[in-house]
Amino acid sequence: MTNETDVAARAAARISYRKAVVGVIGLGYVGLPLAMAAARGGFRTLGLDIDVEKVAHLNAGTSYIDAVPSRDLGAYVAAGTFRPTSNFAELAECDVIVICVPTPLSRQREPDLQYVVDTARTIATHLREGQLVVLESTTYPGTTEEVVKPILEAGGLKSGRDFFLAFSPEREDPGNASFRTVTIPKVVAGDGPEACALAEAFYGAVVERVVTVSSPSTAEAVKITENVFRAVNIALVNELKIIYDAMGIDVWEVIDAASTKPFGFMPFYPGPGLGGHCIPIDPFYLTWKSREYGLPTRFIELAGEINISIPRYVMGNLERALDVHHCRSLGSARVLVVGLAYKKNVSDIRESPSFSLIELLERRGTRVDYHDPHVPEVPLTREHAALAGRRSVELRPDAVAAYHAVLIATDHDAIDYDLLHRHASLIVDTRNALGRRGHRSKKIVKT
């Protein structure tokens, strides 16, 4: 039996008997639910994050992620099954290390892998024989083998012989009550057969179904493909919205009727722009990587152009509606933006188009407030630091009536749409929130 086989066999036994210690790096919307799933699966789990405030909240049993109830979190912390820490030296104790750090775009809309690179360098200083390292951060095909692997091997240990490297794309969908981390099929691939088998064994102990593919690059391409599919189809329906608006046709009525076809059609819905960490960002990772092969990505880039332009289109429709209903310009108007989160029923504000709408309006001199029952205060972000600290205003009849327009950007279920319909003088609805609730009037402008 070869040395690498011995090393892999011992690692597999620790996973099989739940003796393996799991370390999850990055305790955000992906990492924290995964850490909870690993703890639930019987593994002693360390959650590692550079944000000491996050770690303090978690150690106190307080969750900041909707998908992780504080009650469940507190129970795992109290039992010692899950231990949050900012001490990365404890990575040496871990048998399985999962990287769940952000992969944003630069200002030039190129991949920014600094978080992945920094994390890989940190792991490399504590890397030991027998560890399984898994990258979950969404990225372009080739990252695991071309970026992470050389960093980990720089100290002399070799992937597939001394340690094992894999990729498994995250598939979290914040706010989706139908699917949780453990019920979403997990795609995995390893740098070699031993790494693939170990990754399959680990995730098989944590989630209900594991799907293996031939290589980390293939697994990376799976995730990119899923998000390109959504981005392109959302761009298509946003473009159809613009065309049908010009024709006086209700795009939501068209989509609802088309959805009755039992084959060959999948409904996508327009909105005020793209949001979330994945769909507005990930397609550009493939666009960037494709340049290495001299290949254009015309569909992807066109979809990006359309989706990025939608907030300006919404603002233009709001401007026209204010002129028609109030003979008022944006510069003299007070507007309430309803919904700051990027999608309904969550507190996730990453890449939310609401920020673009607020900033576009304020550049025109509009006085803007926001209401969001899930986001009581705007946190500090890199992209929208000037908006940090603003607080959600209360929906009161007199307050709503005082705005020249209400702009619905996110259709949370917890919003009192009846109150809005009764007291707002003008409503620009980007989500058809009022129409879906049976409200019809001339003061409602769908856009």
Q: Supply the pLDDT for residue 108.
A: 81
Q: Supply the pLDDT for residue 5.
A: 78
Lowest mean pLDDT among 160-169, 374-383, 410-419: 374-383
Asked whether residue 173 carries a pLDDT value surpassing 90, the answer given is no
| Domains of the chain: total | 2
**Pair (325, 296) in one structural domain:** yes
pLDDT in tens, 257-267: 999 999 999 99
**Pair (198, 101) in one structural domain:** yes
Residue 26 lies in a domain: yes
Q: Which of 214, 244, 268 is the last residue of a domain?
A: 214
**Pair (326, 191) in one structural domain:** no
**Pair (241, 202) in one structural domain:** no
Q: Which of 167, 189, 214 is the last residue of a domain?
A: 214
**Pair (185, 249) in one structural domain:** no
**Pair (140, 209) in one structural domain:** yes
**Pair (191, 305) in one structural domain:** no
Asked whether residue 4 carries a pLDDT value surpassing 80, the answer given is no
**Pair (240, 179) in one structural domain:** no
Express as a percent the part of the chain with pLDDT over 70: 99
Asked whether residue 1 carries a pLDDT value surpassing 70, the answer given is no
What confidence tier does 383 reach under pLDDT thresholds 50, 70, 90?
confident
Per-chain mean pLDDT for the chain? 95
- Arithmetic mean of pLDDT, 136-149: 97
**Pair (233, 209) in one structural domain:** no
**Pair (335, 393) in one structural domain:** yes
The tokens describing 343, both together, are: 């999608």
Asked whether residue 433 carries a pLDDT value surpassing 90, the answer given is yes
Q: Supply the pLDDT for residue 181.
A: 92
Q: Supply the pLDDT for residue 122.
A: 98
Residue 51 lies in a domain: yes
Domain of 99 in residue numbering reads as 3-214
Residue 221 lies in a domain: no
Residue 316 lies in a domain: yes
Q: Which of 148, 182, 214 is the last residue of a domain?
A: 214
**Pair (185, 258) in one structural domain:** no
Question: Which positions are catalytic?
Answer: 278
Residue 220 lies in a domain: no
Residue 219 lies in a domain: no
**Pair (123, 256) in one structural domain:** no
Residue 77 lies in a domain: yes
- Arithmetic mean of pLDDT, 143-164: 98
pLDDT in tens, 207-242: 999 999 999 999 999 999 999 999 999 999 999 999
Q: What is the CATH number of the domain that holds 390?
A: 3.40.50.720
What confidence tier does 282 reach under pLDDT thresholds 50, 70, 90?
confident
Residue 192 lies in a domain: yes
- Arithmetic mean of pLDDT, 28-33: 95
pLDDT in tens, 77-129: 999 999 999 999 999 999 999 999 999 988 788 899 999 999 999 999 999 99
pLDDT in tens, 110-119: 899 999 999 9
Q: Supply the pLDDT for residue 389.
A: 96
pLDDT in tens, 314-359: 999 999 999 999 999 999 999 999 999 999 999 999 999 999 999 9
Q: Supply the pLDDT for residue 356.
A: 96
